[in-house]
Structure 1
Amino acid sequence: MKGEGVPPTFSGLPCDDQSQWGDFKKKYSTTHRAMWETFNAWVIEQGAPPLPDMEFIHTSEQANLYVYPQEIDYTDQRPLDQTWHRMDSSVRDTDGDLELPESMKNRPEGSALIYLSLGSLGSADVDLMRRLVSILGKTRHRFIVSKGPQHASYELAENMYGAEFLPQIKIIPQVDLVITHGGNNTVVESMHFGKPMIVLPLFWDQYDNAQRIDETGFGVRLATYDFDDAEMVDAIDRLLNDHKLQDLLRETKARIQGNSGVKVGADVIESVGRKYRETQQSL
């Protein structure tokens, strides 16, 4: 989403400090313009209109959908026209069930259940995953770990359970905290189920999601490869013991789940389809 008050896309820069926005835009243009020009030429060759400058997709004149919870959206920084429709969430219901091991369900007093998932690319960084396992393995908490494609390349600590693939939608409702790379799906799903987040961004929109989660108070952004061990442990403890945040997350969960994003999207698509059919019938 772009707007005068919105940080440059993919920058991960804060809303309240524009001092680095200009430099980022220049560097982004330098590194991406040639690619954009090639792609735009291809788009035109296919018979489509030219793309807006440095944009890689067209905007529809009829309807545009995006998935992002209102609480972390840039609603104050960039009012959108009437073609835009926000879906607060779009949570699938196709994951299989997950029966947690007794060690995860019957935890010692004061031990939280935490989900760690860095996506397929993040979890492929074995050194990063080993470091996280080492840090988190020393805490009193229990962890469910999405191990990813390199699952056989590292071992989990005794206070952990994990597998290459896990039914995330079945896990997030059961945990107290989510440690994530900041992918849009996991961010939206965590907000949908009212869970605080620690975000370790790796690329693209993950930086923006991480910054937005941090500056709106729904979690903590850490420097993925530069955080101190104590920073991670402190972030976990602060979020788990932030009772005001827990209250806010309960309210957020109720609002998002009470305003079906799937229905919003379906209604918009149906409306566009009906208008198109009426137009065709009138010809």
Structure 2
Amino acid sequence: MDDERPLTILFAPESAYGPTNHCIGLGNILLKRGHRVVFASESSWKNRLEPLGFVEALIDLAEPPADPSGDLDAGKFWADFIAETAPEFRKPTLAQLESFIQPTYQALIDGAMYCEPHLREIIAEHKPDVIVQDNVVGFPALTTTDAPFVRIMSCNPLEVRGDKVPPTFSGYPVADQRGWEAYRAEFDRTLRPMWATFDGWVQEQGAEPLPDLEFIATSKVANIYLFPAEADYAGLRPLDWTWHRLDSSVRETDAAFELPDVVRDRPEGSGLVYLSLGSLGGADVDLMQRLVDVLATTRHRYIVSKGPQADRITLAGNMYGDAFLPQTSIIGHVDLVITHGGNNTTTEALHFGKPMIVLPLFWDQYDNAQRIDELGFGRRLSTYSCTDRELTGAVDALLADQDLRERLARIGEQIRSRDGLRKGAAILEHVAQRQRAVSP
């Protein structure tokens, strides 16, 4: 057998921008190494992955419309779902377990069940050397083939539970265990019946039983998670040899970005701030407009990623923005990042050594917000109830904290030197090559 033949790597990311962008970054490195990269992505990503050099093997997570009119917006499946449930984001994380976390898991499960037959067809057609899943629920089609399965965990590392770390999605502090037991009990009460039904279905498809109250299997050969060593919970929640940490994974496919005059030419003593609530958080027009209006009162300059409702958001004179921006080409230019706390943006800000203000909305964003706050890398604010003064005061304080900015700049240099992007690609390449070597 010729071991120099290109490998076929199949990525199956969640439809949201975060996991898909993470896989795009890794896939791009593998393409440059001469391999064939297939994306089994949700169908709204049609014609968005192929121009990057990937093979599109698209799936539907629900019955497609009878008469679709043109291409869907990428990630529309989840953008629509989040928009419908946005009022739940105003609730504390304990209450969100029943009103948001459970319905979200159910939607993910429904999608996994719906696409199972098609996924099996895709795998049979493309015969991957390794299958890479970046999701929060399992797809039996991906774990019951001859190809090795690698799990990528794009969320905050608390998705892997432990007695000495706060409960997943809680946003609770490491140093204060009050509330942990009650949250875990509510997590069990709310999610166990759904988990039991899903676990039964997973086993019916020929896959092994899921770990208790977990919705995705852990790989026996390699698992990858994304979080810098300087912010990790490693000493509190040991992981076995199959787990690999990527300190960052900043894709190299974003377009270059030149600062527009409106934000490049700014008054002495003012800072440059990047504001993004992600593709899903940006759909909350009222929230985005309120942030823009408050920040307009400061002397600073802002680059705003307006999101899918861009035409409904009016920027002020001290701002530049667009619906979607090349984030990884921007963060290095700014002095501060205001974010929803998605794991990609959080780790990218640390990669470039930037302080953060985190305004969490859902899922692991609360965990990231709390971690950044308790480590002193920035501030966690209440997304919907923080006052104007709290927001502008946090901006002024973080921009004026020269010691913090210098500390984070040093951390950023260390993170960049560890080159998580190429480390991740090498892990996938190694698993695939090892499988090929032992295959008949």
TM over 0.5: yes
Q: How far apart, in 1, do the equivalents of 2:429 and 2:284 lie?
A: 42
Paired position in structure 2 for 1:108: 267
Aligned partner of residue 439 in structure 2, secondary structure: helix
Q: How far apart, in 2, do the equivalents of 1:39 and 1:153 lie?
A: 40
Please say if residues 304 and 319 of structure 2, whose CA atoms lie closer than 8 Å, have aligned partners that are also in contact: yes
Paired position in structure 1 for 2:317: 158
Q: How far apart, in 1, do the equivalents of 2:320 and 2:432 lie?
A: 46
Gaps of 5+ in 1: none
> Given the alignment, which residue of 231, 234, 255 partners 1:96?
255
> Given the alignment, which residue of 9, 27, 30 partners 2:189?
30
Task: Report 1 or 2 for greater relative contact order, CA contacts < 8 Å, sequence distance ≥ 6.
Answer: 1
Alpha-carbon displacement from aligned partner over 1:40-63 (angstroms, at most 9, x marks no partner): 122112111010111011111221
Aligned partner of residue 214 in structure 2, secondary structure: coil
Q: How far apart, in 2, do the equivalents of 1:28 and 1:130 lie?
A: 34
Root-mean-square deviation over aligned CA pairs: 1.3
Aligned partner of residue 104 in structure 1, secondary structure: helix
Paired position in structure 1 for 2:304: 145
Deviation at 1:150, TM superposition (A): 1.2
- 2:339 maps to a residue whose letter is T
Q: Number of residue pairs matched?
A: 281
Q: How far apart, in 1, do the equivalents of 2:401 and 2:432 lie?
A: 46
- 2:407 maps to a residue whose letter is L
Paired position in structure 2 for 1:190: 349
Judge which range, 78-87 or 26-35, deviates more.
26-35
Query: TM-score with structure 1 length normalisation?
Result: 0.95
Q: How far apart, in 2, do the equivalents of 1:38 and 1:109 lie?
A: 60
Paired position in structure 2 for 1:202: 361
Alpha-carbon displacement from aligned partner over 1:80-125 (angstroms, at most 9, x marks no partner): 2211110001110111122322121111101111000001221111
Change (3 A) 1:278 1:97: closer
Aligned partner of residue 226 in structure 1, secondary structure: coil
> Given the alignment, which residue of 341, 358, 381 partners 1:222?
381
- 2:291 maps to a residue whose letter is L
Judge which range, 269-278 or 104-113, deviates more.
269-278
Paired position in structure 2 for 1:262: 421
Q: How far apart, in 1, do the equivalents of 2:388 and 2:235 lie?
A: 36
- 2:354 maps to a residue whose letter is K
Q: How far apart, in 2, do the equivalents of 1:173 and 1:260 lie?
A: 16
Q: How far apart, in 2, do the equivalents of 1:7 and 1:181 lie?
A: 19
Gaps of 5+ in 2: 1-159
Deviation at 1:279, TM superposition (A): 3.5
Please say if residues 251 and 421 of structure 2, whose CA atoms lie closer than 8 Å, have aligned partners that are also in contact: no
Alpha-carbon displacement from aligned partner over 1:131-176 (angstroms, at most 9, x marks no partner): 1111100000011111111111121111111111111111111110
Alpha-carbon displacement from aligned partner over 1:227-283 (angstroms, at most 9, x marks no partner): 1111111111121121221121111111111111122212322332343334335xx
Change (3 A) 1:102 1:77: same
> Given the alignment, which residue of 198, 216, 239 partners 2:398?
239
Paired position in structure 2 for 1:174: 333
